[in-house]
Chains A and B, each alone.
Chain A
């Protein structure tokens, strides 16, 4: 309950032009004219899912940045870094992941189109989402094969710092891809239930595309440093 405040008489109300010793906080600048114009807040703030996913991606990015600097420092700190050739299946996996981003974009645009009112014939976003999911699963399987190929060469987690970072980086990425797969499954489920929000799909897509970009970066890092 607010104390009842008697409003000052109209003629006493003035926009002070005094030099701002009260920087930005004093009367007039933030007051409400009687006409009732409220201080502008964007009528429609971005959907929280959108802001939220950027927040999440920032955190994930920092994690991989930390691992990158760990790799660089570790490589330079001793003479025991052994180079090895990356299993070639990694490049195939990359294509799978890129393809999955393409199919996800197709699905997303089709859904956006629906929500916008247009209806493309033959549009079947659910199918495209399933294909994305399949590509994603194949990516993870392919990464697993890469690990098996590496261990067949005798390169395990602790064999050499280079192999250590290979496993740590690819495993960390794969873990986050798993998270993305979960998000995709959730989106498919909501699509079928007709409860899918545009913002949810957009956020999930953004996350998935980030996994793509992150993987390209990691692949480059591994290729350049390992």
Chain B
């Protein structure tokens, strides 16, 4: 039975590794300017974790096989180097590995979250609410009109609570249920939650940020490839959470300008 167990462990370990090595299921393609360090970090970590995983499972299997064999008269043996050796190995190997991962990862993280948006980044506001995302563009005047929470009404389709009668800034704001952005232009995404916690995630864009009710946050990113992508909510927000999504269209600058004009006409 021990031998069967050992073989099973090895089969499971190698079997589990195959889809990883083959990238059978893997990250989506990266269409961002900042995503490369993330993907590199992922591959690096996968290699190190994979080696640790395989080595320890195989070692476990070997030891089960070897030491369950009846060996009458043989004495108990200590692992060479003893516990001290293993502790040192853990500190040196795992310690340096994780510190390296931590340092490089911190760099990648800081380049995304601790850098300010460019001065000419396009500001777009996204509001998350049960169970849809709505997007607001500032319009030709470049400013967002103030939000009046008491005026928010799904029924009247006044998603942002804009008072177009009294607020000049709000008159030219463009509200849409889909997000369009021009390719290769930095976007400054202002995030606001209408009700409970939500999250903004576009896997291909390598962006992920929770909305925090009561806190207005922002992220910034640049898309490098034209296409249609999905924005999904990843923070449990109620019964419609699974269905809370919006499409992100990355377009050429011209297409984007046309889109904006079209949306403005629909307001």
Residues on A facing B (Cβ under 8 Å): 20-23, 77-78
* Across-interface contacts of B84 in A (CB, < 8 A): 20-21, 23
CA distance A22 to B84 in the complex (A): 9
What per-residue 1/0 map shows which CB atoms of B61-83 lie under 8 Å from chain A?
00000000000000000100111
Q: Does the CB pair B83–A23 fall under 8 Å?
A: yes
Could you list some 15 contacts between A and B, CB below 8 A? A20-B82, A20-B84, A21-B78, A21-B81, A21-B82, A21-B83, A21-B84, A22-B78, A22-B82, A22-B83, A23-B82, A23-B83, A23-B84, A77-B214, A78-B214
Min CB–CB distance B82 → chain A (angstroms): 3
Min CB–CB distance A198 → chain B (angstroms): 44
* Across-interface contacts of B83 in A (CB, < 8 A): 21-23
* Across-interface contacts of A78 in B (CB, < 8 A): 214
CA distance A75 to B84 in the complex (A): 49
CA distance A20 to B78 in the complex (A): 11
Chain B residue nearest to A78 in the complex (CB): B214
Min CB–CB distance A28 → chain B (angstroms): 15
For the complex with contacts A21-B78, A22-B78, A23-B82, 12 further pairs of A-B residues with Cβ separation under 8 Å are: A20-B82, A20-B84, A21-B81, A21-B82, A21-B83, A21-B84, A22-B82, A22-B83, A23-B83, A23-B84, A77-B214, A78-B214
* Across-interface contacts of A21 in B (CB, < 8 A): 78, 81-84
* Across-interface contacts of B214 in A (CB, < 8 A): 77-78
CA distance A22 to B82 in the complex (A): 7
What is the interface size of chain B, counting residues whose CB is below 8 A from a CB of the partner? 6
CA distance A169 to B264 in the complex (A): 54
CA distance A20 to B214 in the complex (A): 59
CA distance A77 to B215 in the complex (A): 9
Chain A residue nearest to B81 in the complex (CB): A21
Chain A residue nearest to B85 in the complex (CB): A21
Min CB–CB distance B135 → chain A (angstroms): 27
Chain B residue nearest to A21 in the complex (CB): B82
Chain B residue nearest to A24 in the complex (CB): B83
Min CB–CB distance A151 → chain B (angstroms): 28
Chain A residue nearest to B79 in the complex (CB): A21
Chain B residue nearest to A77 in the complex (CB): B214
A-B pairs with lowest CB-CB distance, top 10: A21-B82, A23-B83, A21-B78, A22-B78, A23-B84, A22-B82, A23-B82, A78-B214, A77-B214, A21-B84
Quick one: which of B208-228 are within 8 Å of A by CB? 214
Min CB–CB distance A161 → chain B (angstroms): 13
Min CB–CB distance B75 → chain A (angstroms): 13
Min CB–CB distance B215 → chain A (angstroms): 8
CA distance A20 to B83 in the complex (A): 9
CA distance A78 to B214 in the complex (A): 8
CA distance A203 to B128 in the complex (A): 54
Chain B residue nearest to A23 in the complex (CB): B83
CA distance A20 to B82 in the complex (A): 8
Min CB–CB distance A147 → chain B (angstroms): 29
Min CB–CB distance B91 → chain A (angstroms): 15
* Across-interface contacts of B81 in A (CB, < 8 A): 21
CA distance A26 to B121 in the complex (A): 67
Min CB–CB distance B86 → chain A (angstroms): 11
* Across-interface contacts of B78 in A (CB, < 8 A): 21-22
CA distance A22 to B76 in the complex (A): 12
Quick one: which of B76-118 are within 8 Å of A by CB? 78, 81-84
Min CB–CB distance A8 → chain B (angstroms): 14
Min CB–CB distance B127 → chain A (angstroms): 20
* Across-interface contacts of A77 in B (CB, < 8 A): 214
CA distance A23 to B81 in the complex (A): 11
Most chain B CB atoms below 10 A, which of A21, A22, A23, A78? A21
Min CB–CB distance B88 → chain A (angstroms): 12
* Across-interface contacts of A20 in B (CB, < 8 A): 82, 84
Min CB–CB distance A17 → chain B (angstroms): 16
* Across-interface contacts of A23 in B (CB, < 8 A): 82-84
